[in-house]
A and B are shown apart, each in its own frame.
Chain A
């Protein structure tokens, strides 16, 4: 298996850049999924069965990566040899970390108070922040091609996604 070298953009016939044609991504994903569907390989030799399964797995992983803005940004950086979430890199701007702390505190307080409304408000606020960051990422990756700034913003976006996931989890738990 050559999953590590597989080029997710090439797989879906997309140019390697941050801004993507989501409709084209989805259409090409469905094409691959249907071409590699197990039903088509019921009577095929074992080697073809295996190959189609690997293709289906790869396209799932590739689709999930390119569809999600934070994962797409992280993947673009990986392709350039940059690990945006390296364990050894713990530095982020102080004001961003302060903001992180505040969001985490709000999340904890609302969770303890079983205040679903506050959780939902916080979630919407963070999604708006993420949206603005995603727009900026398009500029940094595709226009100014500033890898350093793109890496920092990608790290921030991954952080926000993590808080959002935790808020969602808290809401589901309380519901």
Chain B
């Protein structure tokens, strides 16, 4: 499955300062379905190069990280259970506090 993953708000620093990653992921659960929970663990294993605790806490993203699936808050699509589809764009963005 082809996906575009984007990191922002400083999260890109955890993956070699690369903001946009075009990736291909094969769903492993046999039913050919990929959900956000699977994607998070894939990202943690394959893209996060340092300080994984700055990206995840438990089995979800750490507090202060917004997850957007096709420009839409993942809270609206089922969070960890959101089913991903071919060519989806998933954005991970850390909230900023500066001014």
Q: Do A and B bind each other?
A: no
Which residues of B pack against A, CB within 8 Å?
A: none
Binding site for B on A (CB under 8 A): none
